[in-house]
Structure 1
Amino acid sequence: MTFSHPDHRGTIHVEDAPILDHQPHPAGQWILRVAAPRCAARAEPGSFAHLRVSPERPMRRPLSIMRTDPEAGWVEFLYKVVGEGTRLLSECRPGESISLLGPIGNPFRPDPERPRTLLLGGGVGIPPMVFLADRLRRATGFRPFVIMGSEVPFPFHARPSTLRVPGMPDGVIAAMPLMEDWGIPSRLASLKGYPGCFEGYMTELARAWLAALDDRHRAEVEIFACGPHPMLEATARLAAEYKLPCQVSLEAFMACAVGGCAGCTVPVNTPEGPAMKRVCVDGPVFDARAVFG
């Protein structure tokens, strides 16, 4: 299993993608599956697609890819209705087609020498972590642990985990069923008091896990995160405290999403000094030290 750094030229496709399934979940969340074989064949964990939500809205909406099946040719997204564009998208039904531009962006690049991967996904940052966990379970030697956080009901029915995780407080047993089915340990965090979830921030639970590891195992850890900016900043501080490599996927408002408009630039530290980088094609995945260092 390899994790590539794609050359964007010739790898971003426009497809008319028939909707295969579109399921509502609490708090205005939806899981959308479309037939997009060229995107499915090239997508990597951390990449996203730009969807035209309606003929009435020429501006596309960027959505992180949650799962793919290259053989069956489908791509799946989790999104939340937050404005008129995503509201229109939520009204699309199976059998209709939407225009998809993707896959876009540089992916996560796990280091085989650090197989003990810690994946943190907050809110709409959950999809890339699902995609990465799926890829890691198919690779050789990786041992992912996934923490997901949400302040609205999760878009799945949590179930008690049967997989032991060091450092977990008593009663923190809620897990994502898909991860359990894959044999990947996961835990859920929320400030809303959901049963079995850790009542606090994901980074606090991640700290408990890291503290429970011995020095040898902790030296095998690499952190991956996607979610709101404050969560990513806290994750970067945690990684720096433990001197661990950390990759973060940033969110940004986008117009073109292919690097032409430079409307999604963020300041990043580079070996040559501070620079403005485009989240769409220079990211969305960056080294946490470059963004928050």
Structure 2
Amino acid sequence: MTASHRGTIFLETARILAHHAPAPEQWLLTLEAPACAERAEPGQFVHLQCDPALPMRRPLSLQRVNREQGWVEILYKVVGHGTRLLTQRAVGQTLSLMGPIGQPFRPDPERPHVLLLGGGVGMPPMIFLADRLRRETGWRPMAFLGSELPFPFPTRPSRLLIPGLPPDAIGTLSLLEDWGVPCRLSSTQGQPGCHAGYVTDLTRHYLETLGATERRNVAIYACGPDPMLRAVAQLARAFDLPAQLSLEEFMACAVGGCAGCVVPVQTPQGKAMKRVCVDGPVFAADAVYPA
């Protein structure tokens, strides 16, 4: 068991700056956590105390980070007792936070056309990565996001053209549109402006419009539930594209001690069991879902 993560995870008392539910059962939490904000990278997460009476923490992805002002933003869905307790925490109260944790996305400068695929609570890391890349020169991020619940962000018809998409794919997140990041939405629940299908459907439509030379500039980065990530890996393989995936997994300690979140990963030495918390959560798609 390696110890490469030692000295990179910080424990701090984080003050709640904002906390509200932009959609049913989905909450947006902003925390003053300067140590985490200073070091966090897209794809990493925090292990957060939900309530002083609850000893077990919950792993939650980072959605946005402001290093200068020292805050981090988290979008979470209420799925159990811990996150239900977390919804009761008010502005001004404090929570114990460990982070940032895990291996982040590592964009390849040789492939500057970045396709960001997010499903459900897998959307936050994609927004974080879009925010980071749009601030740097040379990158061309584009996002395809899907949700079966109402989107917890303002949406609107997009004015940023993405060729080759179905005519029902007109909606975008207002936040990404304001950043100049092209984005389209999908849902199987008939949400307005959303493509009636999956994010991988939209991505396939788009990739089919690109020639071989254009595809050599493309890489895929994704986060979402296991069936979606398997489909992303298959899509990347079909178009001969590199892909990095952020896995969702149940965690107890989240710092590599309990080995309760291990998954089989293909390595140059053969198959090995890797901890999603500190060896991931980001892995190469072909390592986690080999052909």
Q: Which interval holds the TM-score relative to the shorter structure? A: over 0.9
**CA distances 1:176-195 after superposition (whole Å, capped 9, x unpaired):** 00101100000000001111
Conservation of the 8 A alpha-carbon contact between 2:154 and 2:175: no
Listed as ranges, the matches of 1:212-231 within 5 Å are 212-231=209-228
Calculate the aligned-residue CA RMSD, in Å.
1.0
Conservation of the 8 A alpha-carbon contact between 2:168 and 2:196: no
Map of 2:243 onto structure 1: 246
Match of 1:133 among 114, 127, 130: 130
C-alpha distance in structure 1 between counterparts of 2:268 and 2:131, whole Å = 33
List runs of 5+ in structure 2 lacking aligned partners.
none
| Identity %, equivalent residues | 61
Conservation of the 8 A alpha-carbon contact between 2:261 and 2:276: yes
C-alpha distance in structure 2 between counterparts of 1:8 and 1:274, whole Å = 22
Conservation of the 8 A alpha-carbon contact between 1:166 and 1:213: no
C-alpha distance in structure 2 between counterparts of 1:39 and 1:174, whole Å = 33
Match of 1:76 among 73, 77, 80: 73
Counterpart residue type for residue 264 of structure 1: C
Map of 2:229 onto structure 1: 232
C-alpha distance in structure 1 between counterparts of 2:116 and 2:241, whole Å = 13
TM-score (ref. length: structure 2):
0.98
Does residue 262 (structure 1) correspond to residue 259 (structure 2)? The answer is yes
Listed as ranges, the matches of 1:160-239 within 5 Å are 160-239=157-236
Give the 3-state SS of the residue equivalent to 1:212 in structure 2.
coil
Does residue 96 (structure 1) correspond to residue 93 (structure 2)? The answer is yes
TM-score (ref. length: structure 1):
0.97
Give the 3-state SS of the residue equivalent to 1:243 in structure 2.
coil
C-alpha distance in structure 2 between counterparts of 1:76 and 1:7, whole Å = 26
Conservation of the 8 A alpha-carbon contact between 1:46 and 1:107: yes
Deviation at 1:169, TM superposition (A): 1.4
Map of 1:119 onto structure 2: 116
> How many residue pairs align between the two structures?
288
Match of 1:153 among 145, 150, 153: 150
List runs of 5+ in structure 1 lacking aligned partners.
1-5
Counterpart residue type for residue 57 of structure 1: L
214-223 or 180-189: bigger deviation: 214-223
Counterpart residue type for residue 35 of structure 1: E
C-alpha distance in structure 1 between counterparts of 2:266 and 2:163, whole Å = 35
Match of 2:57 among 44, 60, 67: 60
**CA distances 1:226-254 after superposition (whole Å, capped 9, x unpaired):** 00000000000000011100000001111
Deviation at 1:9, TM superposition (A): 2.2
Conservation of the 8 A alpha-carbon contact between 2:264 and 2:273: yes
C-alpha distance in structure 1 between counterparts of 2:203 and 2:252, whole Å = 34
Structure 1 consecutive aligned stretches of length 4 or more whose deviation exceeds 4 Å = none
Deviation at 1:7, TM superposition (A): 5.0
C-alpha distance in structure 1 between counterparts of 2:253 and 2:190, whole Å = 40
Deviation at 1:172, TM superposition (A): 1.4
Listed as ranges, the matches of 1:271-286 within 5 Å are 271-286=268-283
